[in-house]
Structure 1
Amino acid sequence: MTIAAAPVPADLRAPTRQPASRRRRGRGALQPVVAVLATLALLGVPFWLVVSTASKSQAEAFDPDLSPPGSWQLLTNVREVVTDGDMVRAFFGSVLVVAPSVFLVLVLGSMASWVLARRGGRGMAVVYALMISGIVLPPAVVTIVLLLRQLGLAGTPTGMVGVYTGMYLSTVVFFVTGFIRTVPHELEEAARVDGAGPVRVFFTVILPLLTPVLSTATILIVLYIWNDVFYALFVLGGQLDTLPLNLFRVASAGLYLQNWHLIFAYVIVMSLPLLLTFVIAQRKIISGITGGAVK
């Protein structure tokens, strides 16, 4: 004879746990939301501060905060900084320095990376270490200025281009050398069989394959050079006006003193070429990566 067990009351039963898969799905759905909110907080708040301050009047922008402007005056402030701040001349001064610097850094860095990637040995390893040491070793400003004075290049765009080329050549070598090592040797050998010399092999075979990595390097180098005011201040010495130098000059002279609405409007206009460069280069990076994946 068996005795049936008495039923356990519902309030005394052990709580059932949710399946592990359901908990993982809940965390997986929450993580993107947290990432988006953190990104908005880190990037959106400073961006809103710049835009809102640049859209205010002088009285509203005297103490910058996150409050929206009473009346939006962004276009008016932008028009004022373009006309009174002499931005057009400073813009062409920046282009005169940035364009040749980026071109020389990309071409010379790519050619040096090709040689370093294709030739092994302890000597080349030492040369590679010396070339990328410029990433961690800051250049001495006093030495640079004295050397340019000896060469007669101080205060000239040529001297400034030479300084930027030497400073950021290590960045391109670091990015490109590892990428070239993944390129098959058979592509170069096929071009040499067809009678192509080293220069032709580089420009017709190697350089087109470097579009993704060179686009990334272009974004970084343009960002560094376009916003540089420290080295340009010492090397150019007021002989050539770039956008950061022009903003520093007009702010120090009292034209924009305490006029935060004009300073932030100047920053917005100065950042527009960088945004365009980033958008264009980003598309090239994506197309290059997907094209390489299909191949």
Structure 2
Amino acid sequence: MLLGAGRWPRALGGTALIVMAAVWLLPFVWAVVTSFQSEADVTTPGLSPFKGAFTLESYREVFDRGNLPVWAFNSLLIAAVVTALTVAISTLAAYGFSRGTFRGRRALMALTVASIMVPPQLLIVPLFRQMLAFDLVDTYWAVILPQIVAPMMVFILKRFFDGIPRELEEAARIDGASDLRVFWSIVLPLSRPIVAAVGIFVFIGAWNNFLWPFIVTNDSDLMTLPVGLATVKDAYGTVYAQSMASALLAALPLIVVFLLFQRRIVRSVATTGLGGT
């Protein structure tokens, strides 16, 4: 679009895209190659990542020293529950802010927007003390509950709901539909792109979340995949090949999800403009 039509602008644009893709893929390729080499070969001086024969030693060590099936199940369960609850709560809250007329709506919306600027790290101590008070430490709920509050998603959904024509809802109410029926049958079907985008980003965030699950879980059987793999790495010192193998194992499910749903993900991001969130 910026370069105009024609063969040379297309060639220049394609070349620029290839260069940017190569720059983005280089660290990933380096990590993959490193994970398939021995520690002795990885620590050999030199800039080339190809320093020795390929081996599965690093992956065997990670599987032998960790409980990957349990950690992967925990990550999947927690990410799925967090996504479902966050989407449900955020859509209802956003619809209330968009269409509600209750007292204090503007003040509550301003408080929600202001909470976006609060760094999550500042909430770790009060949240942990709250989990202690409710006797939820070392439980799934201790990991899940603090993550389902997503002011940013409420704000994004509210802005989207504001753009839905109110005439559609008024027509449904004339036919006798309740507010919940209007929300379920009119608003949500029209909001599939934004809801899908929010769900995708919430799932990725919950899957990759390390700090809070690391703080609130001590039982190895309750650890998520990022936390469990980090404990294996820390217990045996700095091992570069195993670190890369652990990182790839943690990212593999997200890569598979992206490959399966890449069209929906790209369409959701392009439609809703959530790429920068």
- Shorter-chain TM range is 0.7 to 0.9
Larger displacement relative to structure 2 (81-90 or 56-65): 56-65
- Structure 2 CA distance for aligned equivalents of residues 73 and 87 of structure 1: 20
Q: Is residue 19 of structure 2 the alignment partner of residue 37 of structure 1?
A: yes
2:255 to 275, 282, 291: 275
Closer/same/farther in 2, CA of residues 291 and 36 from structure 1, 3 Å limit:
closer
Task: Give, in angstroms, the shift of residue 134 of structure 1.
Answer: 3.0
Task: Give, in angstroms, the shift of residue 122 of structure 1.
Answer: 8.9
Task: State the match for 2:275 in structure 1.
Answer: none
Structure 1: runs of 5+ lacking an equivalent: 1-20
1:140-219 aligned within 5 A: 140-166=123-149, 169-219=150-200
> Contact 2:44 / 2:51 at 8 angstroms: preserved in 1?
no
Closer/same/farther in 2, CA of residues 179 and 53 from structure 1, 3 Å limit:
same
> Contact 1:222 / 1:274 at 8 angstroms: preserved in 2?
no
1:246 to 208, 228, 243: 228
Closer/same/farther in 2, CA of residues 132 and 289 from structure 1, 3 Å limit:
closer
- Structure 1 CA distance for aligned equivalents of residues 15 and 251 of structure 2: 29
SS in 2 for 1:59: helix
Total equivalences in the alignment: 265
Task: Give, in angstroms, the shift of residue 89 of structure 1.
Answer: 0.8
- Structure 2 CA distance for aligned equivalents of residues 289 and 253 of structure 1: 39
> Contact 2:142 / 2:216 at 8 angstroms: preserved in 1?
yes
Task: Give, in angstroms, the shift of residue 46 of structure 1.
Answer: 0.8
Closer/same/farther in 2, CA of residues 284 and 190 from structure 1, 3 Å limit:
farther
SS in 2 for 1:222: helix
Task: Give, in angstroms, the shift of residue 271 of structure 1.
Answer: 0.6
Task: State the match for 2:116 in structure 1.
Answer: 135
- Structure 2 CA distance for aligned equivalents of residues 192 and 44 of structure 1: 52
1:222 to 197, 203, 208: 203
> Contact 1:90 / 1:246 at 8 angstroms: preserved in 2?
yes
Task: Give, in angstroms, the shift of residue 83 of structure 1.
Answer: 4.3
What's the Cα RMSD here?
Answer: 3.1
- Structure 2 CA distance for aligned equivalents of residues 89 and 141 of structure 1: 25
Tell me the amino acid that sits aligned with residue 153 of structure 1: L
- Structure 2 CA distance for aligned equivalents of residues 128 and 69 of structure 1: 57
Closer/same/farther in 2, CA of residues 286 and 249 from structure 1, 3 Å limit:
closer
Closer/same/farther in 2, CA of residues 291 and 146 from structure 1, 3 Å limit:
closer
Structure 2: runs of 5+ lacking an equivalent: 273-277
- Structure 2 CA distance for aligned equivalents of residues 191 and 87 of structure 1: 50
What CA deviation, in whole Å up to 9, does each residue of 1:126-168 have, x standing for no partner?
22221133322023211111111111112211121111112xx
Largest Rg, 1 or 2: 1
> Contact 2:83 / 2:148 at 8 angstroms: preserved in 1?
yes
Closer/same/farther in 2, CA of residues 153 and 235 from structure 1, 3 Å limit:
same
SS in 2 for 1:60: helix
1:262 to 242, 253, 259: 242
Identity %: 28
- Structure 1 CA distance for aligned equivalents of residues 233 and 65 of structure 2: 12
Task: State the match for 1:3 in structure 2.
Answer: none
Closer/same/farther in 2, CA of residues 280 and 252 from structure 1, 3 Å limit:
same
- Structure 1 CA distance for aligned equivalents of residues 218 and 44 of structure 2: 32
> Contact 1:216 / 1:281 at 8 angstroms: preserved in 2?
no
Task: Give, in angstroms, the shift of residue 248 of structure 1.
Answer: 1.5
Task: Give, in angstroms, the shift of residue 176 of structure 1.
Answer: 1.0
2:216 to 223, 227, 235: 235
TM-score normalised by the chain length of structure 1: 0.78
Tell me the amino acid that sits aligned with residue 150 of structure 1: A
What CA deviation, in whole Å up to 9, does each residue of 1:98-125 have, x standing for no partner?
1111111111101111111123699433
